[in-house]
Structure 1
Amino acid sequence: MTQDKHAAIFDGFLALVKAPYGDFSGIGKLSKELNDDSTLEQIVNFLRQNPQGERAFKERPLLGNIDLQQLHELPQNTLGYIYSDKMLKNNLKPVPVEKIEDNDFSYLAIHIGETHDIWHIVTGSDTDKPGEVQLQAFCVAQLHHDRLFISLLSKNLLKTALEEIEFAESIMDALTKGWTMGKKAKPLFGIQWNSLWEKPLEDIRLSLDIAV
């Protein structure tokens, strides 16, 4: 890695450290600097070792357009209801449908991005700081060589040390729980979540070996 590359990564990382919590505008830029083609190839090869991941890269399924109001009419114990309820209460919108370029790296980025909020729900990770740390640790365990999620964990640990050391225990508990959960759970990458909207969330967690 060149000196200029290192400098760009450190600049991106420091920008995230300085940004207020909830400002994720710099994540995309840092991801492009960190996850080069070699790193992405390692992630793809790791995910392809599982039949579910192999099938996902071949078929490249996406969530498509999501009607939160329609999902909110499902029974309250279903994935669709719980997901839509969380999104509506937090004034969040599903990630817009993107066109996949004809390569695995493009699908990897789009699929991870559009399913991020679903992973929050399925892993029981809240959207507060410990919840984000828990999900980031889960992602590190599930995505193997992803440099971005390791960097996001590092950012949150540094911000805790600098600004909120009183929350260190809850942050470390969340990191430990997310990592352990991610190692024990079946792979989440490549699941066709839009076929599971009507299924009870607890049944989904049980099938994936996720205990929250």
Structure 2
Amino acid sequence: MVDPNTLSLPDDPSLFTRLRVASQCLEVLKDDPTNPNCGQLINICLDLNVYASIVQQFQHSEGGRRLLSERPSLQGKVLDLAVLESLPEGTLGYEFARYYRDNKISPFETTLELKSDIDYIGKRYRETHDLLHVLTGYATDQVGEMELQAYALGNLGIRTAAFILLMSSFQLFNVVRSGIGGSEYLRRLWAAYRRGRASPQFLDVWFEHHWETPVATLRERLCAPAQQTN
């Protein structure tokens, strides 16, 4: 049995090592799908090159360099959801806090050591998952989660998202049973992917500075309009 507390990725890992650690993370996530360490680690294993490319992009802009230097965090231990929920309705802070309350979940947490900027970008990507639900409007049901993965694939080229979408194709029968036809499901994924491709990259946004900004304002700035699939 794999002990998630012993899993780690060495410096400059080979592709074989990354795949081995990723498979071990999958074993853990089968029984513990919300495991924070394995959730972040599998992202880094599969998307190491993607994150490295993002780091290089950030190093060529003042805002990106500042983000990598200061490493702001959206982890639960630094978020005061009660304060955020006291903000006016419709603001990012209020809607973000209400998202957690309505879905009866808690903000992302991890104890995985950040040994590099690449590790930080992997962590930042995980932290922004719930914020993206709020900004894009994609639901937290099975279809909405897959739409968000398609959006992330289009926006950043995240390979983990592609892997999740591939695995979800085996659940297509269950999606059809839920009342959404298979062709409609695929159209929604394609629309989300194209929306992500058409939207500005979101990882360099200091969401922590926008708690009082209306979600509608941020959505207009950061997300391409949602396409009708009917």
Q: Distance in 1 between matches of 2:184 and 2:27?
A: 23
> Contact between 1:142 and 1:187, CA under 8 Å: does it hold in 2?
yes
Partner of 2:68: 57
Shift of 1:55: 3.9
- Residues 26-59 of structure 1: per-residue CA shift (max 9 Å, x gap): 64454354234x4542343355566644442243
Q: Distance in 2 between matches of 1:171 and 1:123?
A: 17
2:195 matches 1:184? no
2:166 matches 1:154? yes
Q: Distance in 2 between matches of 1:12 and 1:58?
A: 29
> Contact between 2:82 and 2:97, CA under 8 Å: does it hold in 1?
yes
> Contact between 1:100 and 1:110, CA under 8 Å: does it hold in 2?
no
2:214 matches 1:203? no
Q: Distance in 2 between matches of 1:174 and 1:45?
A: 32
Deviates more, 1:44-53 or 1:183-192: 44-53
Aligned mate of 1:93, from 84, 89, 106: 106
Letter in 1 for 2:68: F
Q: Which runs of 5+ in 1 are unaligned?
A: none
Question: Are residues 2 and 96 of structure 1, via their aligned partners in 2, closer, same or farther at CA, if it must alter by over 3 Å?
Answer: closer
Q: Which runs of 5+ in 2 are unaligned?
A: 1-13
Aligned mate of 1:128, from 129, 134, 141: 141
RCO higher in 1 or 2 (8 Å CA, sep ≥ 6)? 1
Aligned mate of 1:193, from 186, 207, 218: 207
Q: Distance in 2 between matches of 1:192 and 1:3?
A: 35
Aligned mate of 1:34, from 39, 46, 65: 46
Partner of 1:69: 82
Q: Distance in 2 between matches of 1:97 and 1:164?
A: 31
Question: Are residues 46 and 77 of structure 1, via their aligned partners in 2, closer, same or farther at CA, if it must alter by over 3 Å?
Answer: same
Shift of 1:193: 0.9
SS state of the match for residue 199, structure 1? coil
Cα RMSD (Å): 3.3
Letter in 2 for 1:88: R
Question: Are residues 114 and 174 of structure 1, via their aligned partners in 2, closer, same or farther at CA, if it must alter by over 3 Å?
Answer: same
- Residues 92-126 of structure 1: per-residue CA shift (max 9 Å, x gap): 11223768635111211221122211011101111
2:115 matches 1:110? no
Aligned mate of 1:23, from 21, 27, 33: 33
Letter in 1 for 2:198: K
Q: Distance in 1 between matches of 2:60 and 2:152?
A: 17
% identical equivalent positions: 23
